[in-house]
């Protein structure tokens, strides 16, 4: 006994503290939470008893039940760079990104010791198989196709790991410096060739369009001239019909009158242009005076 505190009192206090600590620990181990897109795998004495997919607060038996694994089911991504040999005997490095989701948390955790590493090995093997049949230059343009083909090859293995592969992204191949420089020169040459071809095609289109426009313009001009001549002839025909309608002028006289009108129209054209001379095919008795008149009109020019 020390100052009124007995040994049994100390033991009781220690036991109380220990019991309180155990109680607090047990309480803490009774409750657990899960987040969105997260699965908790709960085991009892090493055996899976249930999986919890619902987010929120949950209860388990303390000390006996354990959370063996929390598996996220959101989209995940792993990257790696692998070396592959192409059909033209070049060793290139391919940066690869694998996007996947865990669809079977139990198989993902309990069925494989290292499921992600196993997935990466399967993808690497499939990529090497596909790229070995392609030329180095083809790796640039066929990257999407290679990714899709690799997914078809590995999807069955991925299912064994509890994984579903969503997408495989293959970045630009990395070749030795001398090979890369040569390839860049080829690509630059192809771009210049394509630009020259595009320019030539554009010029050809412009030439064809101009030729079509010129042809259409000539067609329209010919049509206009034909219409103009037809209108003139219709006018002369109407004049003849009007002159002979009364019966006072014979048809021959009407034709001579119209012919004279045509000559006067020609003279009017000469006077307007000033650089043409027209000599009537048959001169009348006053032909000389008519020729002199034509010369005066031709030298005078337009007013």
> Are 105 and 62 in the same domain?
no
In a domain, 180, yes or no: no
**121/165 same-domain check:** yes
Question: For the whole model, what pTM was predicted?
Answer: 0.51
Inform me whether the pLDDT recorded for 8 exceeds 70. Answer: no
Q: Pick from 149, 175, 201: which residue ends a domain? A: 175
Verify that 43 and 96 share a domain, yes or no. no
Residues 41 and 88 in one domain: no
Same domain membership, residue 170 and residue 95: yes
User: Is 36 in the same domain as 95?
Assistant: no
Last residue of a domain, one of 43, 72, 101: 72
294 found inside a domain: no
CA-CA distances (angstroms) from residue 140 to 87, 136, 187, 200? Answer: 14, 8, 11, 27
Task: Choose the weakest-confidence range: 21-35, 90-104, 110-124, 159-173.
Answer: 21-35
Q: Are 79 and 116 in contact (CB under 8 A)?
A: no
CA 120 – CA 78 distance, rounded (Å): 8
Between CA 60 and CA 43 the distance in angstroms is 10
Same-domain check for residues 44 and 97: no
Q: Are residues 85 and 146 in the same domain?
A: yes
The answer to whether residue 101 is domain-embedded is: yes
Same domain, yes or no: 147 and 106: yes
Domain boundary among 144, 175, 206: 175
Residues 160 and 81 in one domain: yes
Grade residue 1 by pLDDT with cuts at 50, 70 and 90: very low
Evaluate whether residue 250 is within a structural domain. Answer: no
Is residue 149 within 8 Å of residue 143, measured between CB atoms? Answer: no
CATH number of 105's domain? 3.30.479.30
CA distances from 289 to 113, 293, 295 (A): 125, 6, 10
Are 163 and 93 in the same domain? yes
Whether residue 301 lies inside any domain: the answer is no
Tens of pLDDT, residue by residue over 237-255, are: 777 777 677 666 677 776 7
Q: Is the per-residue pLDDT at 101 higher than 70?
A: yes
Residue 94 lies in a domain: yes
Count of the separate structural domains present in the chain: 2
pLDDT value of residue 219: 66
For residue 148, the enclosing domain spans 75-175
Q: Does a structural domain hold residue 168? A: yes
Please list, in sequence order, all residues whose beta carbon lies within 8 angstroms of the beta carbon of residue 243, skipping any fewer than 6 positions away: 249, 253, 254, 257, 258
Task: For residue 171, tell me if it sits in a domain.
Answer: yes
The verdict on 47 and 131 lying in the same domain is no
Greatest Cα pair distance, the chain, in angstroms, is: 175
Residue 65 pLDDT grade (very low, low, confident, very high; cuts 50, 70, 90): confident
């Amino acid at each position: 006994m020390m100052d009124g505190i007995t040994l049994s009192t100390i033991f009781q206090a220690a036991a109380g503290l220990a019991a309180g600590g155990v109680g607090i620990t047990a309480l803490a181990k009774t409750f657990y939470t899960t987040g969105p897109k997260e699965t908790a795998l709960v085991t009892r004495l090493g055996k899976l008893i249930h999986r919890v997919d619902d987010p929120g607060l949950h209860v388990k038996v303390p000390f006996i039940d354990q959370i063996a694994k929390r598996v996220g089911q959101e989209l995940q991504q792993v990257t790696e760079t692998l070396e592959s040999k192409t059909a033209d005997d070049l060793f290139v490095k391919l940066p690869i990104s694998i996007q996947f989701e865990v669809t079977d948390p139990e198989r993902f955790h309990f069925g494989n010791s290292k499921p992600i590493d196993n997935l990466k090995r399967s993808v690497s093997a499939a990529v090497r198989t596909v790229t070995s049949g392609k030329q180095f230059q083809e790796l640039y343009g066929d990257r999407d196709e290679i990714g899709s083909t690799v997914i078809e090859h590995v999807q069955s293995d991925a299912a064994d790991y509890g994984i579903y592969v969503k997408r495989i992204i293959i970045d630009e191949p990395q070749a030795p410096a001398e090979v890369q420089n040569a390839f860049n020169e080829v690509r630059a040459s192809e771009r210049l060739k394509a630009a020259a071809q595009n320019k030539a095609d554009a010029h050809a289109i412009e030439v064809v369009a101009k030729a079509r426009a010129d042809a259409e313009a000539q067609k329209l001009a010919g049509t206009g001239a034909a219409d103009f001549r037809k209108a003139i002839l219709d006018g002369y025909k109407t004049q003849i019909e009007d002159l002979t309608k009364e019966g006072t002028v014979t048809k021959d006289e009407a034709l001579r009158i119209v012919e004279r009108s045509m000559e006067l129209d020609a003279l009017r054209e000469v006077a307007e242009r000033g650089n043409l001379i027209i000599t009537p095919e048959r001169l009348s008795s006053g032909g000389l005076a008519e020729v002199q008149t034509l010369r005066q009109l031709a030298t005078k020019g337009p007013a």
